[in-house]
Amino acid sequence: MTSHHPNVSTALQDNEAALQEPEETQNDTACCPGPGREKAHEESSRVEARGAAVLDRQASSRYFAALDSSVGDLRQRAQGLIDRLNDSRKEDHTVMSGFRDSLQLEVSNLAEQLEERLFQLYSLHNELIQERLQELAEVMERVRQAEDELQQVCHTVEAAYRDLCLQPET
């Protein structure tokens, strides 16, 4: 297992060095001549074994401390990512709220402009309708006057006809 964390790398290197040391000490027994060499070798092996065990525990301890540190760093990084994601979502919500507000304002302005234009058109049409109604009223007045005149003519013709019919024939 390799890690980019310097403490994990150091712990792994220490552990590998501790594992390699006993092999080197076995080669040292050949250099120690004499009858007490086996006893010295056993004592040396026990010391080396205890030292290797201590080194293994120290290396393991450093390794797990580095691993805990790495896990803690990963947790912090993950929490940082979550915090940034939440901040980004809040910012998106703020942007969308601002967009919605500006869009509502724009739609409201456009609706007011449309309403104003409609009122202008209604006013223009009302003026045209008023002019036509005025013309119609004038025409109707002329028709009434023509009716009156026609009625007068009819009465005059009727009276003349009666006068002709009532006269004695002589």
Q: What is the pLDDT of residues 10-40, one digit of tens each?
A: 554 555 554 454 444 444 444 545 555 565 5
The residue among 147 and 167 whose pLDDT is bigger is 147
Q: How far, in Å, CA of 152 to CA of 146, rounded?
A: 10
Predicted model pTM: 0.39
CB 64 within 8 A of CB 14: no
**Which residues, 6 or more positions from 59, have their beta carbon under 8 angstroms from its beta carbon?**
11, 12, 14, 15, 18
Mean pLDDT in the chain?
78
Closest CA to 24 of 3, 51, 2: 51
Q: Would you say residue 136 has pLDDT above 80? A: yes
Say what the pLDDT of residue 35 is. Answer: 54
Integer angstrom CA distances of residue 18 from 53, 64, 67, 117, 135? 9, 17, 19, 91, 118
The residue among 84 and 10 whose pLDDT is bigger is 84
Q: How far, in Å, CA of 138 to CA of 116, rounded?
A: 33
CB 14 within 8 A of CB 62: yes
Quick one: what percent of the chain has pLDDT higher than 70? 60
**Mean pLDDT of the 123-130 span:** 96
**Which residues, 6 or more positions from 24, have their beta carbon under 8 angstroms from its beta carbon?**
none
Per-residue buried b or exposed e for 5-29, using 16+ beta carbons within 10 Å of the residue's own CB: eebbeebbebbeebeeeeeebeeee
